[in-house]
Homo-oligomer: A and B are copies of this chain.
Amino acid sequence: MSHALIQQLWHDLEQIELIDPHTHINPHAPASKTLADILGYHYYTELAHSAGCPREAIEEPGISPKEKVRRLVPYFAHLDNTIQMDWFLDIARSFFGFTGDHLTEDNWEPFYDHVETVLARPGWEDEVLKRSRISKVFLTNDFDDPLTGFDTDRYIPCLRTDDLVFHLSRPDTLQRLNKATDTDVRSIADLKSALGRLFTHFTSHGAKACAISLPPDFEPQPISDSEAEPVLQAILAGRELTIDERKTISCAVFWRLAEYCADFGLPFDLMIGVNRRVYEAGVYQGQDLFDQRTSLILYRKLFNAFPQVKFPISVLASVSNQELVSYCWIFPNVIAHGHWWYSNIPPYIEIDCRSRLQAAPRNKQIGYYSDMYKLEFALPKFRMYRKALAKTLVEDFVIARGWTEERALALGKQTLRGNVETIFNVS
């Protein structure tokens, strides 16, 4: 009985048109051009590398997209068990009529050519969005993105601030900031002013969020101008910063971003827990890992200081999920946001989804975002989530608590779509 119910509810959830609240789509090239764009997603390159593929083979300068795929495919024999390859199969079947069990050395080449033809069809971008039931897509924009040349109603800008918070001391960061804001930053006052101009620029182009990813040991603190000023001067003087100075300037910039989020009414997406470049010889975008020893208690000052700012929070470690549920249950401004990266696999999604739906207010949780780089991935990734969601809604609500299917569906719809609208103020 429950199996049929889950299938029915999943089918109903599939009909909901979505706004994808976090992606890495390039609005100037949102859809794939070849199979290499799809299989170049870091999940495939890093898993192939982990399974034995040399990095040099797939990152050799100048190789053609087709050659790259040719070199990757032999390693997929080691990956067919992964849910990430299941996303690919879903794409291959849903969009390109693939009928095999798996992509192999025997069948990849004609498929490559076929995919290229389909992707070249006029209107593919619209088609893939329509068939994926995605109406709008949040972007991840560099702070100096001009935000021009694309439809900001469909591709919603989002101010990504990692560079400002963690790499202000890199020579090009201040140069980029100066250029983007037509400023010459010589003081903390200038810096604040420049940051304000970024917010004006982004919100005037329809931005709906500020976002950042954060290492597991980051602890936001208010930093006064007088504490921050000497560090900025050291950066301007080209002096290398101490560890403490790095923390000071990171916290100083971060806190001022939160202040501007308050001023401009933008939610501040926090993606907590990533250590960058842990595996230095890894493939592009396949070098980051985490330390499970982190806690949302590190953010208590922030959450207390900015009650008017909504903080949609993603956690990288599944062991952080109970904290996220609990902080979301207590703090009005903490929102549980999606299932991120290493936690974005069914066993973790299921337990995390169950706990959020049963313990946090229904208006404070956003079920899922795709995190995709190319539009084709929204369909399989949201589908994976919708299956987990349907299972939870049926088992924990319809069966365990006697809810009607309509009522369970409405809860699913709210976490998938409704809360994206209310929390990010889009529709």
Q: Quote the shortest CB–CB distance from A402 to chain B (angstroms).
A: 9
CB neighbours (8 Å) of A332 from chain B are 49-52
| A334 smallest CB distance to B (angstroms) | 8
A363 close to B51 (CB less than 8 A): yes
12 other A-B residue contacts (CB within 8 Å) besides A47-B361, A293-B294:
A46-B330, A47-B329, A50-B328, A52-B332, A81-B397, A81-B411, A101-B407, A275-B297, A279-B300, A289-B323, A289-B330, A326-B342
Cβ of A293: which chain B residues have Cβ within 8 Å of it? 293-295
What B residues does A360 contact at CB under 8 A? 50, 82
Contacts A342-B322, A347-B355, A354-B347; A51 near B361 (Cβ below 8 A):
yes
Interface residues of chain A, those whose CB is within 8 Å of chain B, are 46-47, 49-52, 78-84, 86, 101, 275, 278-282, 286-297, 300, 303-304, 307, 317-320, 322-323, 325-332, 342-343, 345-348, 351, 354-355, 357-364, 387, 396-397, 400-401, 407, 411
* Contacting residues, chain B, for A101 (C-beta < 8 A): 407
- Count of this chain's copies in the oligomeric assembly: 3
Closest B residue, CB atoms, query A283: B330
* A interface majority secondary structure: helix
Are B297's CB and A280's CB within 8 A?
no
Q: Given B49, B317, B357, B364, which contacts A50 in the complex, CB threshold below 8 Å?
A: B364
Complex contact A297–B289 (CB within 8 A): yes
* Cα of A357 to Cα of B282 in the assembled complex, Å: 22
A155 CB to closest chain B CB, in angstroms?
A: 30
The smallest C-beta distance from A310 to any residue of chain B, in angstroms, reads 12
CB distance from A296 to the nearest CB of B (A): 8
Write out the residue numbers on chain B whose beta carbons fall within 8 Å of the beta carbon of A281: 304, 307
Given A51-B363, A82-B358, A359-B345, CB of A278 within 8 Å of CB of B300:
yes
For the complex of A and B, the 7 pairs showing the least CB-CB separation, nearest first, are A51-B361, A347-B354, A291-B297, A291-B295, A326-B342, A78-B363, A81-B362
Residues of B within 8 Å of A292, CB to CB, are 295, 319-320, 322-323
